[in-house]
Structure 1
Amino acid sequence: MSGRDNYLDTIRGIAAISIIIIHTAFWSGATYGVPDWMQTLTLAIDVGLFFFLAGWSISFKEKSPWNIFQSIIEIMKKWIFFIVFVAIISFKTTDLKSLLSSFCFNVSIPQFPVIAGSIWFLPVYICVTFINSIIIYIINTHSVTLESKIKNYCRYLIILLFLLLFDAQGTVLFPQIDSQWLFYSVPYLFGLIYGKTRFHFNVRQFVIGILLIAFAMKLNSSLLNLPINPMQNNKFPPNLTYLFYTYIGILCTIYFSNFFSGMKHNIFSHIGKKALWFYFSQGIGSSILFPLSVHININLWYLKFPVMAAINITITFICAEFLSSAYILICHYLSIFYNFLYNKALFYLAS
């Protein structure tokens, strides 16, 4: 399989919008009383779905660790460009030292606190994709057929689940394995397996799956003596309750692929193709909501929250479109300038 899947991009776009709504509820939403249950509800479509979709996307074309490393370099270039942009619009409080520190994800920009609060995702994503690319490459190299590859993927997934189970119980077998890398590797590999097999659920299997997830969440919550609500307490650090909750969005993605596979390009697939820019830009939009919120005189949280979410989506959309276009334009002119210097160098060396 090759090429882009519009359904995958559409779900990625919906997930990007969901992240905007999540950060609206948790950051500025806390100042006007968005309740815990609503915040928990927003987490049903969260970053775990991004990892599932990332695993699914690599199933279309097998990538070596070198290909993944090149993708990471491109991500880092976009991140540095984004940080430079943020530094320019907040130059009064951004010095060179904090700028260089921000390049390494140690962000400290007072005007945009949500950038620092949400960028934890990026280094985890880089670690998950790169480390797993090495393991997946080894599996692919030693597996002759697609069937043998899938069996070995499943064996690796079982190992990850085994390690995650022990980690959740406080028995750390390998202290050097970060819990977030371990946790998010599970939906990443599950996405790869799904992409290779493209299995489907009927409505009966889907309902049973949701009920099993609910039962597993309740059981694990009781064993850990940690309430399901607020779910944020199960997310940092991630535990099995949050893993089960993550699979609600994943199961919905798999089930609805029965009806929407082969769909055409749409606004959500457009956002999905620029999901990284939207993730960066929501840090700006979500931060702007703090001073803006006090000027929006709506007393009831359930009326104010959708208004604030709509404003955040609008700001994020404008920023993401501007940044993605500016990045492409600057890269284009830098390429022209590089070729000019290269040709000049060759000319002087030849003369």
Structure 2
Amino acid sequence: MNRDLYIDFAKGLATLSIIFIHTAFWSGQFYIPAEVRVFSLVFDVALFYALSGITSGANIEKTLYRLLKLQITYMIFVTFLFFMDYFFKVFGLSFFSMEWLQNFYSTFGSKYSTTSISEYPQWQNLGNWYLHQYTNADTFPVVMGSFWYLKVYFILTVFGVLILRFFPKHINWFIGLCIALTLLFNVFPEYYPSGQVGYVAFYLSVFLIGNRMRGKKIPNKMIPVVYGLVAAALIWMFWYYGNEIFYKINKNKFPPQIPYIIWTLFSLTTLFTLYNRLKINKESFITHIGKNAIFFYFAQGISSSLVYFIVVPLKEHLVWWLLMIIIYGINIILAFIISIGLKKIDKLGWNVLESLRKLTASKG
């Protein structure tokens, strides 16, 4: 079966959008206008959950094996990150003055403190990361700020494959249940549960809708209707919440609340409209990103943290839009380079595990 390059293309564009979001909301928070930062959220993580639904099947063993491989790859990455973070704290002071680092981190609000560097690595942080408790990586704050997505992905993929396997004729009922729970949590916010329950309720519905769209496409005559409904939802949102809700979209993302959910409808509608309609026949830089989306996702957390060091000396000398274009371009280039390195580190980690397996097997 030929690989659907549209899926890779869509993943690639979604990844580039995430890089832009993290350019705007992290290092860009002090020079990019709020309006631009909000518009960056039009194409957001909901796309990844929809694409995951399109590509997922009902094979439990295959899905769990894929999740296990992802968990090991994630553990290899955070192990590398742990030592990178520590060595920067220890040896970075040799390259930057204490005063410069303190001014840098105070400017961008990092929790990092140059006056309290431990002599030894804080191993409990690595253990927490393995268990998806994302305590801050001071040198690379964007990494842990991105990882909420991964925990939700693990949870909803397990729920999703169980539904697809055991309740294939009742998927619409589960979509309805997830939507009903999401509405219940929003209409009665005092009942909105803490943790990942609210996230999973909404994003699982996106995952299952994506799965229902697998191999199908929205009929041509329905496209204006669907976009009309999206426009009506946006008009209602501004009428009901007021114009100031525009500036609160990101606040309504954690956890997903009605304004953010409505904000995602345009991107999801566009994804499903182009699915099985837009034909991608050739490999490109964007499809390459899509094929390696997980490594780019890991890499952009590092690159989006590193560009802070470029923003600091430039933000007072360039107009915001030019600086934004420059930083976004540099961020993409850095993410590309870092992703190549991360793939090599991942391969090395798997080779070490395989060597240990053979060693213990021979002794057994």
Which TM class, normalised by the smaller chain length? 0.7 to 0.9
> Is 1:83 the counterpart of 2:78 in the alignment?
yes
Aligned mates of 2:63, 2:153 — CA distance in 1: 11
Give the alignment's Cα RMSD to 1 decimal. 2.3
2:282 to 254, 264, 283: 264
Question: Where do 5+ consecutive residues of structure 1 fail to align?
Answer: 141-148, 347-351
Structure 1 residues 174, 97: closer, same or farther in 2, change over 3 A?
A: closer
* Alpha-carbon displacement from aligned partner over 1:254-293 (angstroms, at most 9, x marks no partner): 2233543352322212111211111111111111111221
C-alpha contact (below 8 Å) 2:8/2:291 kept by paired residues: yes
Q: Aligned partner of 2:72: which letter?
A: K
Please show how residues 128-139 of structure 1 align to structure 2 within 5 Å. Answer: 128-139=156-167
Aligned mates of 1:273, 1:136 — CA distance in 2: 24
Instruction: Report percent identity of matched pairs.
Output: 26
Residue matched to 1:47: 45
- The 10-residue stretch of structure 1 (306-315 or 97-106) with the greater mean CA deviation from structure 2: 97-106
1:293 to 295, 311, 327: 311
C-alpha contact (below 8 Å) 1:216/1:241 kept by paired residues: no
Aligned mates of 1:133, 1:258 — CA distance in 2: 23
> Is 1:56 the counterpart of 2:54 in the alignment?
yes
2:326 to 283, 289, 307: 307
Residue matched to 2:349: 330
Aligned mates of 1:265, 1:338 — CA distance in 2: 36
Q: CA deviation at 1:221?
A: 4.6
Structure 1 residues 208, 301: closer, same or farther in 2, change over 3 A?
A: farther
Residue matched to 1:97: 124
Please show how residues 47-196 of structure 1 align to structure 2 within 5 Å. Answer: 47-58=45-56, 61-64=57-60, 66-92=61-87, 93=89, 94-105=121-132, 106-140=134-168, 149=169, 152-170=170-188, 175=193, 178-196=197-215
Q: CA deviation at 1:341?
A: 4.5
Query: Secondary structure, in 3 states, of the residue corresponding to 2:282?
Result: coil
Q: Aligned partner of 1:330: which letter?
A: G
Q: CA deviation at 1:245?
A: 2.0
Residue matched to 1:36: 34
Residue matched to 1:12: 11
Q: CA deviation at 1:310?
A: 0.6
* Alpha-carbon displacement from aligned partner over 1:275-323 (angstroms, at most 9, x marks no partner): 1111111111111111221223543111111111111111111111111
Q: CA deviation at 1:171?
A: 6.0
C-alpha contact (below 8 Å) 2:58/2:161 kept by paired residues: no
C-alpha contact (below 8 Å) 1:118/1:283 kept by paired residues: yes
Residue matched to 2:258: 240
Aligned mates of 1:173, 1:330 — CA distance in 2: 43
Query: Secondary structure, in 3 states, of the residue corresponding to 2:209?
Result: helix
- The 10-residue stretch of structure 1 (277-286 or 244-253) with the greater mean CA deviation from structure 2: 244-253
Aligned mates of 2:311, 2:78 — CA distance in 1: 25
Structure 1 residues 233, 220: closer, same or farther in 2, change over 3 A?
A: same
Q: Aligned partner of 1:19: which letter?
A: I
Aligned mates of 1:171, 1:42 — CA distance in 2: 26
Residue matched to 2:291: 273
Structure 1 residues 211, 90: closer, same or farther in 2, change over 3 A?
A: same
C-alpha contact (below 8 Å) 2:238/2:245 kept by paired residues: yes
C-alpha contact (below 8 Å) 1:277/1:323 kept by paired residues: yes
> Is 1:218 the counterpart of 2:235 in the alignment?
yes
Query: Secondary structure, in 3 states, of the residue corresponding to 2:247?
Result: coil
Query: Secondary structure, in 3 states, of the residue corresponding to 1:243?
Result: helix
Q: CA deviation at 1:194?
A: 0.5
C-alpha contact (below 8 Å) 1:179/1:238 kept by paired residues: yes
Q: Aligned partner of 1:162: which letter?
A: A
Aligned mates of 1:319, 1:274 — CA distance in 2: 12
C-alpha contact (below 8 Å) 2:140/2:306 kept by paired residues: yes
Query: Secondary structure, in 3 states, of the residue corresponding to 1:295?
Result: helix
Aligned mates of 2:304, 2:280 — CA distance in 1: 33
Question: Where do 5+ consecutive residues of structure 2 fail to align?
Answer: 90-120
Q: CA deviation at 1:338?
A: 2.7
Aligned mates of 2:43, 2:332 — CA distance in 1: 16
Query: Secondary structure, in 3 states, of the residue corresponding to 1:199?
Result: coil
C-alpha contact (below 8 Å) 1:102/1:108 kept by paired residues: no
> Is 1:249 the counterpart of 2:267 in the alignment?
yes
